Structure 1
Amino acid sequence: MQCNQPTPVLGFAGFSGSGKTTLLEAVIPQLNAVGLRVGLVKHSHHDIEPDSPRKDSYRLRYAGSDQLLLATAKRHMLFFEYHDNLDREPSLQECLNQLDHSRLDIVLVEGFRDAVLTKVEVHRPAHGKPTLFSHDSNIIAVACDKPLASLTGGNMTSLDLNNADEVASFIRHWLSHATDTEKYLPYCAK
């Protein structure tokens, strides 16, 4: 299947507390250091409020705007407000469509555990949670803080969760060698 889309997408999935954010926080600077422009989509189960009630942007959002773009010399933020009160979760595809792909070489996705995309599982056996890779064929590697017996002898790549160099190297290799279907799976999935 040919899915020539704007930017390769690689997910990082795992249960809460497994270390996804900590790992990405260490890996992103290494990808930047080799010239890769990294976008990130992070899913959260919590309501977010990155604005202060005393600010004009907050006041204008709550006046009823459906979208607000706050622009400064250093950054801009785009707010989407969902006034229908349906507690709807935006899809990964909706989030990807909002990015400026002309400024990116890769999009990393944290969360969206059940979305159809190529993923690295982040797993800590000490947390007592099950692995995801046994039920998700889109997981191509497991970043773990201890070797997993279930990975021994299999075709699943095992990564050291505490070795950001190794994970960054894996991502660079994946970018160079993955098929278009693997790189662009969220755009191709129907």
Structure 2
Amino acid sequence: MKIFGLTGWSGSGKTTLAVKLLPALIGRGLRVSTIKHAHKGFDIDHPGKDSHNHRMAGATEVLVSSPKRWALMHELRDEPEPTLEELVRKLQPVDLLLIEGFKRDRHPKLEVWRPSVGKPLIAAEDPTVVAIASDGPVPDARVPVFHIDDAEAMAAFVVEFCGLRA
């Protein structure tokens, strides 16, 4: 399973790009899964639902299943957050695993950078950034730069970079 990431500062458009990039990759015949890092706590469950009640009663894991999907929720309960490597091992193998966030991990990444966000270019200091997507000029870029709306070109780059057969 090949791993490729999207990185960038908050508000740069990582999720927007992922949502555009996924159909471009899947349209090439690839099976793609994603991992998204959330810096703050999040909840996919809601008070009043049975699964939420199970978690609140102390269950470490709750698996919810239906004819359309299943989801496994794991409460850390003061355990440390799993590493990206540990999370990857929990997924079924696919052609490509697209990682959103985890900017300090060492997998290859495409940086989403917008001058309007007012943050420095991560690529300037991080050799794992192998391409940049931007809506403006990128100063001193040492890697390929794509327009942030050109998902097809970025998909072609990811496929080639990862050595995938589309």
TM-score range, shorter chain: over 0.9
Aligned pair partner of 2:134 in 134, 141, 144: 144
TM-score computed with the length of structure 2 as normaliser: 0.92
- Corresponding residue number in structure 2 for 1:90: 82
Alignment of 1:115-134 (within 5 A): 115-134=105-124
Where in structure 2 are the equivalents of 1:49-60 lying within 5 Å? 49-60=43-54
Distance 2:139 2:121 in 1: 12
Q: Secondary structure at 2:20's aligned position in 1? A: helix
Work out the CA distance in 2 between the residues paired with 1:33 and 1:144: 23
SS at match of 1:31: helix
Please list every run of 5 or more consecutive structure 2 residues that lacks an aligned counterpart in the other structure: none
Structure 1 CA distance for aligned equivalents of residues 117 and 98 of structure 2: 24
By how many angstroms is 1:11 displaced?
0.8
Cα root mean square deviation, aligned: 1.4
Give the residue type in structure 1 aligned to 2:87: C
Alpha-carbon deviation of 1:149?
2.9
Post-superposition offset of 1:70: 1.1
1:175 Cα offset (Å): 2.5
- Kindly indicate which of the two structures has a greater share of residues assigned to helix: 1
Kindly, what percent of the aligned residue pairs are identical? Answer: 36
**Distance apart, 1:72 and its partner CA:** 1.4
Q: Which residue of 2 is the match for residue 184 of structure 1? A: none
Deviation of residue 90 (structure 1)? 2.4
Q: Deviations over 1:61-115 (max 9, x none)?
A: 111111121111111111110112x6x33211121111111xx110000001111
Q: TM-score, normalised by structure 1?
A: 0.81
Q: Of 47, 62, 73, which aligns to 1:68?
A: 62
Alignment size in residue pairs: 164
Q: Which runs of 5+ in 1 are unaligned?
A: 1-6, 178-190
- Residue in 1 that maps onto 2:32: 38
CA distance in 2, matches of 1:58, 1:128: 39
1:95-110 mapped onto 2 (5 Å cutoff): 95-101=87-93, 104-110=94-100
Residues 22-79 of structure 1 deviation map (CA, whole Å, 9 limit, x = unaligned) = 0010110111112111110000112111112221111111111111211111111111
